[in-house]
Amino acid sequence: MQPDSILTPGVRQIASTRERRLTNQLPGGKLVGEEKANMMSGPSPPQILVGPAGWSYADWEGVVYPPHKPRGFHEAEYLARYFDAIEINTTFYNSIRPAMAKAWARRVEHNKNFRFTAKLLKVFTHERNAGRQDEKAFKQGVAPLVEAGRLGALLVQFPWSFKNTKENHEYLSGLFVQFMEYPLVVEVRHSSWNRPEIFAWLQEVGVGFCNIDQPVIGRSIGPSGLSTAPVGYVRLHGRNYEQWFSSGGQPQERYNYFYSHAELEPWIERIRNIALQSAVTFVITNNHYGGKAIANALQLIHLLSKQQVHVPEDMLASFPELKEIALPEPAIPLPHQTGLLFESSMAQKKDA
């Protein structure tokens, strides 16, 4: 049963403290509020930004990426030709060097709409033994993305074992205070969090809720279409029921799943509903095995925009179903995701 303390003055104090800290200065002389404005800057809302989780996978070679790469090729730069978002996986495992984040920001300069999202270090979410040095290193690492206006959200992802208890609720509250200067999104996978008072609490403290598609086994949380903050978020993990909780074999096998058109279709309405309540909505495909996340992300853009999309030429051999939605490939294609929510209606007016 949910603790009665959810909407107590103590919780409201988190939101109040979060607001007050917007007037405090960060190292380097910038205001926290200015930093946050940089992260949320961009074209007028609502926006739907679609992209994959991560970019460095050995099984993407020759499938997503060309088998013979030109000099200076970088995966994130290449993907930013087709997508307006990528979720950074590296930050989940280790704090990154500021120089690395600065280089990533430069790599995507050709796409003005592009935003990274980043996963919080696992020592905060899975191991839960982080110290002040971990917090400092993480924030220093992502600072160049913030300064460049390229960090759209910080994802606080918890495992299925993180259940809705008084202790875990208090731990979450503490994390929200620690990282209040970022647009926060929390992902929980256990159905005990699926309660109206939890969503009301997240809305009160200004933290986004991550809507997920995962194998619904036992008390796993099911698909949803909720927005509790200016940042909306969707993650599609795949539906590999056999491997999802498997401790043997290859870990990446749990993400070896390709969504059918029929399975993606219900998400279109959910995504649109989330976008109507959010300033920006990130839609992240995490079923990365064999490039399936890229193929499904392209299909989602097509379904949302009702238009053909640019498809990496090398993908057509592995995913022939993409041929029917593919535009002719220019030398340097750029995505056209901004305004996905309303593109189809605008096209109808133009044709009228």
Per the CB < 8 A criterion, the answer to whether 323 and 299 are in contact is: no
Q: Average pLDDT of 156-183?
A: 97
Q: Average pLDDT of 332-350?
A: 50
The better pLDDT of the pair 26, 327 is held by 327
Look at residue 22 in the predicted model and tell me its pLDDT: 33
Look at residue 211 in the predicted model and tell me its pLDDT: 98
Percent of residues, the chain, with pLDDT higher than 70 = 77
Grade residue 340 by pLDDT with cuts at 50, 70 and 90: low
Grade residue 349 by pLDDT with cuts at 50, 70 and 90: very low
pLDDT higher than threshold 90 for residue 213 = yes
Look at residue 26 in the predicted model and tell me its pLDDT: 33
pLDDT higher than threshold 60 for residue 242 = yes
Task: Kindly report which listed range (57-61, 71-75, 215-219, 282-286) carries the lowest average pLDDT score.
Answer: 215-219
Say how far apart CA 187 and CA 126 lie, in whole Å.
12
Grade residue 241 by pLDDT with cuts at 50, 70 and 90: low
Q: What total of structural domains would you count in the chain?
A: 1
Q: Average pLDDT of 40-49?
A: 66
Say how far apart CA 36 and CA 153 lie, in whole Å.
10
Look at residue 338 in the predicted model and tell me its pLDDT: 54
43: domain CATH number?
3.20.20.410
Grade residue 11 by pLDDT with cuts at 50, 70 and 90: very low
Q: Which domain holds residue 285?
A: 4-351
CA triple 104-107-109, angle to 5 deg: 115
Instruction: Determine the distance from the C-alpha atom of residue 316 to the mean position of all C-alpha atoms in its chain, rounded to a whole number.
Output: 26
For the chain, what is the mean pLDDT?
Answer: 85
Q: Average pLDDT of 150-156?
A: 98
pLDDT higher than threshold 80 for residue 268 = yes
Q: Residue 54: left (phi > 0), alpha (psi -120 to 50), or beta?
A: left
